[in-house]
Each structure stands twice: as structure tokens, then as C-alpha cells.
């Protein structure tokens, strides 16, 4: 174990690079600056590109016409840390325990992208060159929908021209099981605000004669699903590509299933859309989730008010065949139609990303499978994932290339949650994977 | 206008005597101390009785056996002030504008109880005595369910023996219209906590296969009412005493109705139980309200989590014929039966109070009507109210006397809400009312 590699990761993790929070703007910028320095230090030419949001870091080796070009994408921004009280140790003071590193961003995505950077560093140190033309593209807005990356890709289309893209921002089905992800869910965010009276009202003086905004909001949320846990929005499933028989068969055999998901999450019982297994529900079926809700008196004790307003933050996970814009139109129309005249309903769209689906057995797909097998010494699991990496669709549209998703996260890495973590074993596997992958893709 | 009376009210209002908040314990105590001093200063014998919660203030004149005894009850504690951002000026820095005083507690109940204190002060100053034996009983826990008052009444039953009780903690139907309230709703509070996973989960990695605690909580809230806006809990309406025809007829003629309630609240449209007018819904029908809700990510931007837990604070307003304990049993059973096995539901009961109903045309009732008519020069409106003053039932049970509810609050006084206010006109009317009332009750 290379201790200096671990130290570098610790440094990277100490930046509170929370992209969604304006108060952390300078922390995000400092993190980008550190990354540029690191890329320069390993022997690449690295640049910081400012955007209207957070900067994009691009690095490359000296390119030659007689070899293939590989772009490795990642992100250095992280999710917020609330509820911070549930962290065992502070989210930006990384802690190593039993070979596992705990910190916000450790798995999503700093640990994974830094593994690639350090893999390239090792190869350059040993051989003075790489087997491919390499481009690192590491952004700071993945957690807020990669707002400025598409414009950047369009503007720099020629410099970013490549044959294939590799991304490690997905998961492994189980420890030690190499995993190639060929499908991702998309996402569309929507915030609901229900407003009733001009001001908070005494629930004794007015209760019974006016609609309660919290109650109305709850009813709208309750209307999102039917009794089979299907999303009840008319047209929501239009175009959804059904699961293929080979997918259902091969997923049944994976070393992860209901028991593991129940254990990982700690829920009293699993739940979800009728007629699908848990993996199918997560990887291949769309969802409607409430990520946050608030309204009225949330303090200690009782306050007998009817709140003037209440809000909920929703995200919809979408699967191949669904288009975020079309789905959001249907959701908005449904919610507005269901909302009574006794309140105002305000809908505010948030970030959106298309679902992704590619062929895992293409030439580059099989090259990736070989690198994965060599890294871990095991047969590769071919899966889809439930998360969203909207940018892979943008790569396809703008750069006209497919993306290989070679994840290193474990199911209990708690991305986006308190006590996010990443095993050092996976970090070092990522470094090995990078070296083997570039060799395989060079052929 | 007696400017010194106004100054006294300002002093009283500056104490942030929020009884529900442990951080304000010493402010509540300081407020009680001030009140004791004030009562002593006007010529009464005043005592501060500590309780396990906040102190009770009791004051009396020299009692004589040949006259009736009147107990005047009020409270010096106030509601919390959230959301404090919606206050035009700070809640505990009283401001007078166009003859209206703005501060937390101005109407509920400091303005109203102090009017009685100052009325007694004026009579004592002018005549050296009162027409009745008087007891002031002013507590500091009305807003948290008068937790320690019942024990106090039982313990001091003999000293507090009286013929009738007067309370000014209710409302007038319109400015200048004297109002006698003969019915109050009861209340029962219940907090719901829905817990799912051990920790917040990434809604991409697990969304679809586990129940979302916020969604489940919303569904439980949606199940509280049926499509006619009746409370859907089986047995909820058991025993509810139906409205009498004279009540419906006389309330229709009051100078307050749908138009005024809509204007007072600012809601886009009124709503409520099918088959009842707005006044009937508020004064004579029980309700189920959500006073607060919270769960998941409530900050700026988006965070794609499935929250580990979500909570809602409910209160039920009850009407004559309903018993809080019986109702809460039914509500608990209903919610637990509706909750799926995919989450845990925790129910925590809060404060409770019975509904109240008395005869407005009893001897003391008509005495109060005469005092009200003389104070305001108008016919008295006989009404019920939607709020809860649980203690009036305790008075009946322990002291075996009826309570006269002679409210001075206007419909737009915003009790429990930001910018609570009280017209100085009503404050001075309250002082006059006290003097006339003691005379009428003395007969």
C-alpha cells in the first residue's frame, strides 16, 4: 500500500466542495485548484476552465495521431452533508478505520477519480508515457446537474474528441466482484410549494374553514402512487423499454438481492412496484421520490397553527425510453389538476438528466471487461444502476462516443448519506484498473 | 386614554414568556414576578406559587362573607414566535401603530388579563374596595395545556372557592360587538414519526425498493380525511352533539361569515366539511390539523436522498360530546392499522383538553350580558369558539363553577401567528368591562 497515495486522497477529501451551496463556492474553487496542481505534478498538462458556476479541470498527455484517445471523466464536487449530526466524525475530516476511509466524497467521486489520476501517475512514472492519448475531464457541478458542462463540451468539441470515455462513478454489486454498468436511470427534479392563508393561522380560530397547506401537500404526495406502488401520473410509463429476459435471468444470479438490500438499508421490510424484484425496481423501473418536506412548526413542543405554506422536494428517476421534459410536463399537469382551489400550488423545475443505455459487449465494452477481470480476478457482473449520471448522454450527443461505467463503490458506501465511505482496497484496485484499462483500450 | 395603563401593557409584553421552550424558563419566571408586583401595587395580596413547571400567580382582596366571590382567570405565558422572519417588528418589542399594539401575547392573553387587573386597580383606587370578593388566578402554562393547574386547584380548592369564573381569552365577532362565548372546542395533540432505513439513502442507489418515510407519512396524513372533508378515523364523530337550530339561525345573522373569514385569512377559497357553514365548521365541528411537518433535505437546491425519518405534529379540535382520550385511542388505532410494514410508526401523545359548553342565559350569564351591553352599547352576540381553553372544564370539575367567557380579541388579532396584535380600544374596553362586570355579578 502506497501511503503517499492515501495522503493525497485525504488532502482531496478535506475540501468541503459542496457545489449546491453558494457559501462553499470558494471551497469548490480551492479544490479545483488543488486538482489542477496534482494533475500537473504527475506529468500532464492541466488547465482550469472557469464557468458561470464552478470550474472544469482538463488535463492531457502529449497526444499522437497513431493511437486511440481515451477520456476519463469524474467530478470533484460533493453532496451536502445534512443531517450533519448523524455523522460519526466530521464529513470533511477524513477518518480511516479497518481499511475504510470515511468522508463526504470518499466514494462519490473523489476516491474513484483520484484512483485514475494516480494510476496514470504510476504509469507515467514507470514508462514516461501512456499507451493512449489521455484526457482527464473533471467537473465541479455533477451534483447539481452538470449545468455548464454541455456548453463546455460544445465549445471544446475538437480538443475533447476521443474514441471512448471511461467513468468510475458507479458501483460494484459486491466486494471483489468487478462490475460493468451499461444502463443508468435519468432524473428530473421538481419542487412543490403549497400556499394557503396570508400568514400562519391559529388552528382553533380558523381550523375547519380553511384548507391546511400541509394536508393538501400530503395529499398531492399520496396521489403520486397507486395501490400497486406504480407512479400514478397519467403517461408516466409511456415509452419505458421493458426489461429483457436475459437481464432478469442474469440479475437473479447476482450475489446481491432482497436480503442484502434489506440489510444494507436496515428497513423493516422492502417495498416497491408490484411485479418486479428489488434489483429490477432499482435498476430498470422509474420512481417518484420525496427527498425533503417542510412546513409549519418543527420545533420542540406543540404550536397550534395552520401554516401559510409547505414545500416538498421531489425527484423522479427515469429509465431508458423516458424523456425528462415529457415526464415533467405530465407530472406538472397531473399535480395542478389534483390541487384544490383552496390553495395555490407553485411548481419549480430543478435539474434533469436523461437515462442511459449502451451495449456492454461492444469492442470497448469487452476491453473494459478484460481489464476488470484482470484487476479483480473474477467474472464481470453486467448490470444497470439506479443512479443518474446525466452527462453520459451529453457525451453521446456532443462527442458522439459511448461511455464505459467501471464503478468502484460498494453497496454500503453511503453515497449522499451520512458516514459516506470508501474502502482503501477499492481505491488501490481503481489505480490498478486504470493501468490495465488504458492498455486494453489501446489495442 | 390612560397613558400609564399603556406603559404597563408594554412592560408586560416585553417578557418573552414562551412556556413551551425550556430556554425561556427564566423569562417566564421574570414575567410572573412582574405580575405579582403589579397586583400587589394595585392593593391586592398577591402570591407566586411555584409548580413543577411555571409559577402560578394568585391575588385577592380582603374577602367578606356577605358578598359573592368572583375568580378571574388568565395566563401570562405566550406562544412561540416562529416563523420570526414574518414579523414586521420583533415580537417582544411592542409597537403601537394606528391605535393597535403589535407584540406576541398582546391579545393572547396579556392584553386581556391586564385589562382586568387595571380595571380592579381603578375601582380600588376610586372606592377603596370592590363590590365582590375577588381572586385573580393567572397561570404560566396555558399554551402548553395547563399541565400543573389542575393539581393546584385540587390542593387549594378551599382558598379558590368561588361563585363564578370570568375569563377574557376568547374573541369578539367583529369590532365593537360585545360577545359572550358559551362553547369551546377541546384539543388533543399527537406527533407522528415514520422511520424507514437506518440512515439517509441515495435515492438512485435504493429508490424503488424501499418505502420512503416522507411518502408514507404523507399518505397517513392524506388518510385523515375523506372526500367530504370529514375526519376519516372510524368512531371519530361518536357522541358529537349536533348543532341546535337556534344556533345555526343566529350565527347566520352575525356580522361575520364566509366573506370576512376569506378576507381575514387571505386564502384563495374556503374549504371544509360538507354540509356546514364556515362558522359552524370552526365553532361546532371537530377537525384534524397538521401543525408542522419535516423530513429529509430542506435546504437550498436538491439532495437526492431517501430520508431515514419524517415527522408530523397533529392536533385534533374536539367539540361537546367528544372525549380526548377516546378520540386519541381511535386515531392511534387507525394510523397504526393504515401504516405499512415497510416503516416504523411512532406515535407520541401531547397535551389534551376537553371541549366546553355552558348555558349563556343563566343568572351569571345574563349579568355578563348586561355588563357587555353597557361596555359596548350594543346587543350581545352569543357564540361558540373554535379555540380551546381546557382549564374551563377543570374549573367545572374541581371548583364546581361555570365560566363566563368575555372575549376582547378581534378576528384579525393573529393570536399564535406572526404580527399578533390588540387594539388599544379593546384594552380600554376590557378595563371598563371589568368594573361593570364585578358590579353586575355582585347583585
Whether residues A203 and B411 touch (CB distance < 8 A) is answered with: no
pLDDT given at position A422? 98
CATH 3.40.50.300 fits domain A186-243+261-353:
no
Query: In chain B, what residues touch A385 (CB-CB under 8 Å)?
Result: 204-205
- Burial class from Cβ neighbours inside 10 Å (0-12, 13-18, 19+) for residue B372 reads buried
- Mean pLDDT in chain B? 96
Q: Closest Cα of chain A to B280: distance in Å?
A: 9
DSSP readout, A143-205? GGT-TTHHHHHHHTTTTT--SEEEE--SB-SSTT--EEEEEE-EEEEEEEEEE-SSS-EETTT
Residue A61 has pLDDT above 90, yes or no: yes
Residue A73 has pLDDT above 80, yes or no: yes
pLDDT grade, residue B443 (50/70/90)? confident
pLDDT grade, residue B412 (50/70/90)? confident
Residue A60's alpha-carbon distances to A23, A138, A373, A399, in angstroms, are 31, 12, 27, 17
Residue B390 has pLDDT above 90, yes or no: no
CA distance B433 to B180: 12
- Mean pLDDT in chain A? 96
- For strand A381-385 and strand A179-184, is the pairing parallel, antiparallel, or unpaired? parallel
CATH topology of domain B186-240+286-353: Alpha-Beta Plaits (3.30.70)
pLDDT given at position A353? 87
| Domains A3-184+355-442 and A186-243+261-353 equal at CATH topology level | no
Residue A443 has pLDDT above 90, yes or no: no
Query: Residue A429 contacts by C-beta under 8 Å, 6 or more apart in sequence?
Result: A115, A375, A376, A408
pLDDT grade, residue B145 (50/70/90)? confident
Q: Which of A306-315, B212-221, B385-394 has the lowest mean pLDDT?
A: B385-394
pLDDT grade, residue B388 (50/70/90)? confident
Q: How many residues does chain B have?
A: 443
Q: Does B263 touch chain A (CB under 8 A)?
A: no
Residue A365 has pLDDT above 90, yes or no: yes
Cis peptide before B130 (omega within 30 of 0): no
Euclidean distance between the first and the last CA atom of chain B, given in angstroms as a whole number: 29
Residue A10 has pLDDT above 80, yes or no: yes
What's the pLDDT tens digit per position in B270-280? 999 999 999 99
Whether residues A86 and B215 touch (CB distance < 8 A) is answered with: no
Does this complex have an ipTM over 0.85? no
Q: What percent of chain B has pLDDT over 90?
A: 93
B185 closest CA partner among B321, B329, B338, B14: B321
Residue B180 has pLDDT above 80, yes or no: yes
pLDDT given at position A145? 83
Helix axes A424-442, A363-376, angle to 10 degrees: 140
pLDDT given at position A127? 97
pLDDT given at position B192? 98
Q: What's the mean pLDDT in B328-356?
A: 96
Q: Does A109 touch chain B (CB under 8 A)?
A: no
Residue A377 has pLDDT above 80, yes or no: yes
Q: What's the mean pLDDT in A427-441?
A: 98
Of A278, A311, A342, the CB nearest to B270: A342
Cell numbers standing for residue B245: 337550530
pLDDT grade, residue A351 (50/70/90)? confident
The residue ranges of every structural domain in chain A are 3-184+355-442, 186-243+261-353
pLDDT grade, residue A416 (50/70/90)? confident
pLDDT given at position A314? 98
pLDDT grade, residue B83 (50/70/90)? confident
Q: Closest Cα of chain A to B1: distance in Å?
A: 30
Q: Closest Cα of chain B to A356: distance in Å?
A: 14
Q: What percent of chain B has pLDDT over 70?
A: 100
Whether residues A82 and B299 touch (CB distance < 8 A) is answered with: yes
What's the pLDDT tens digit per position in A21-46? 999 999 999 999 999 999 999 999 99
3-state secondary structure labels for all residues of chain B = CCHHHHHHHHHHHCCCCECCCHHHHHHHHHHHHHHHHHHHHCCCEEEEECCCCCCEEEEECCCCCCCCEEEEEEECCECCCCCHHHCCCCCCCCEEECCEEECCCHHHHHHHHHHHHHHHHHHHHHHCCCCCEEEEEEECCHHHCCCCHHHHHHHCCCCCCCCEEEECCCECCCCCCCEEEEEECEEEEEEEEEECCCCCEECCCCECCECCHHHHHHHHHHCCECCCCCECCCCCCCCCCCCCHHHHHHHHCCCCCHHHHHHHHCCCCCCCCCCCCHHHHHHHCCEEEEEEEEEECCCCCCCCEECCEEEEEEEEEECCCCCHHHHHHHHHHHHHHHCCCCCEEEEEEEEEECCEECCCCCHHHHHHHHHHHHHHCCCCEEEEECCCCCHHHHHHHHHCCCEEECCCECCCCCCCCCCCEEEHHHHHHHHHHHHHHHHHHHC
Q: Closest Cα of chain A to B71: distance in Å?
A: 25
pLDDT given at position B301? 86
Q: For testing the chain A interface, which of B19, B21, B272, B301 should be mutated: the one with the most A CBs within 10 Å?
A: B301
pLDDT grade, residue B60 (50/70/90)? very high
pLDDT given at position A291? 98
Q: What percent of chain A has pLDDT over 70?
A: 100
Residue A163 has pLDDT above 90, yes or no: yes
Of A214, A278, A315, the CB nearest to B293: A214
Q: Closest Cα of chain A to B314: distance in Å?
A: 9
Q: For testing the chain A interface, which of B86, B201, B210, B315 should be mutated: the one with the most A CBs within 10 Å?
A: B210
pLDDT given at position A376? 97
Whether residues A417 and B202 touch (CB distance < 8 A) is answered with: yes
Instruction: State the CATH architecture for B3-184+355-442.
Output: 3-Layer(aba) Sandwich (3.40)
Cell numbers standing for residue A436: 490495465
What's the pLDDT tens digit per position in B84-114? 999 999 999 999 999 999 999 999 999 999 9
Amino acid at each position: 500500500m502506497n501511503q503517499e497515495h492515501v495522503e493525497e486522497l485525504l488532502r482531496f477529501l478535506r475540501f468541503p466542495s459542496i457545489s449546491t451551496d453558494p457559501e462553499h463556492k470558494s471551497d469548490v474553487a480551492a479544490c479545483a485548484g488543488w486538482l489542477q496542481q496534482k494533475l500537473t505534478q504527475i506529468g500532464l498538462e492541466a488547465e482550469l476552465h472557469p464557468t458561470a458556476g464552478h470550474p472544469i479541470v482538463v488535463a492531457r498527455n502529449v497526444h499522437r495521431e497513431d493511437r486511440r484517445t481515451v477520456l476519463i471523466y469524474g467530478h470533484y464536487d460533493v453532496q451536502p452533508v445534512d443531517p450533519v449530526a448523524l455523522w460519526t466524525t466530521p464529513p470533511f475530516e477524513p477518518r480511516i478505520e479497518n481499511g475504510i476511509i470515511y468522508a463526504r466524497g470518499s466514494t462519490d467521486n473523489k476516491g474513484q477519480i483520484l484512483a485514475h489520476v494516480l494510476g496514470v501517475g504510476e504509469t507515467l512514472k514507470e514508462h514516461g508515457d501512456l499507451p493512449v492519448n489521455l484526457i482527464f475531464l473533471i467537473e465541479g457541478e455533477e451534483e447539481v446537474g452538470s449545468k455548464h458542462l454541455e456548453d463546455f463540451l460544445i465549445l471544446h468539441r475538437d480538443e475533447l474528441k476521443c474514441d471512448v470515455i471511461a467513468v468510475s462513478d458507479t458501483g460494484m454489486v459486491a466486494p471483489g466482484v468487478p462490475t460493468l454498468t451499461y444502463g443508468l436511470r435519468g432524473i428530473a427534479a421538481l419542487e412543490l410549494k403549497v400556499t394557503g392563508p396570508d400568514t400562519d393561522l391559529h388552528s382553533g380560530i380558523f381550523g375547519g374553514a380553511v384548507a391546511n397547506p400541509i394536508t393538501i401537500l400530503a395529499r398531492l404526495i399520496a396521489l403520486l402512487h397507486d395501490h400497486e406502488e406504480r407512479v400514478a401520473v397519467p403517461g408516466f410509463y409511456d415509452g419505458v423499454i421493458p426489461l429483457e429476459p436475459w437481464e432478469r435471468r442474469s440479475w437473479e444470479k447476482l450475489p446481491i438481492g432482497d436480503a442484502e438490500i434489506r440489510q444494507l438499508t436496515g428497513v423493516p421490510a422492502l417495498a416497491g412496484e408490484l411485479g418486479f424484484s428489488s434489483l429490477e425496481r432499482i435498476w430498470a423501473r422509474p420512481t417518484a421520490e420525496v427527498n425533503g418536506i417542510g412546513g409549519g412548526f418543527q420545533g420542540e413542543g406543540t404550536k397550534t397553527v395552520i401554516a401559510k405554506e409547505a414545500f416538498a422536494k421531489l425527484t423522479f428517476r427515469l429509465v431508458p425510453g423516458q424523456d425528462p421534459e415529457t415526464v415533467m410536463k405530465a407530472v406538472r399537469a397531473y399535480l395542478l389538476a389534483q390541487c384544490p382551489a383552496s390553495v395555490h400550488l407553485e411548481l419549480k423545475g430543478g435539474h434533469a438528466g436523461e437515462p442511459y443505455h449502451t451495449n456492454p459487449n461492444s469492442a470497448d465494452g469487452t476491453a473494459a471487461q478484460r481489464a476488470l477481470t484482470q484487476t479483480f480476478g473474477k467474472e464481470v457482473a453486467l448490470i444497470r444502476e439506479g443512479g443518474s449520471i446525466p452527462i453520459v448522454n451529453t457525451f453521446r450527443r456532443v462527442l458522439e462516443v459511448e461511455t464505459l461505467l467501471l464503478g468502484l463503490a460498494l453497496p454500503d458506501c453511503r453515497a449522499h448519506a451520512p458516514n459516506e465511505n470508501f474502502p482503501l482496497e477499492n481505491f488501490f484496485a481503481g489505480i490498478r484498473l486504470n493501468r490495465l484499462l488504458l492498455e486494453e483500450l489501446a489495442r
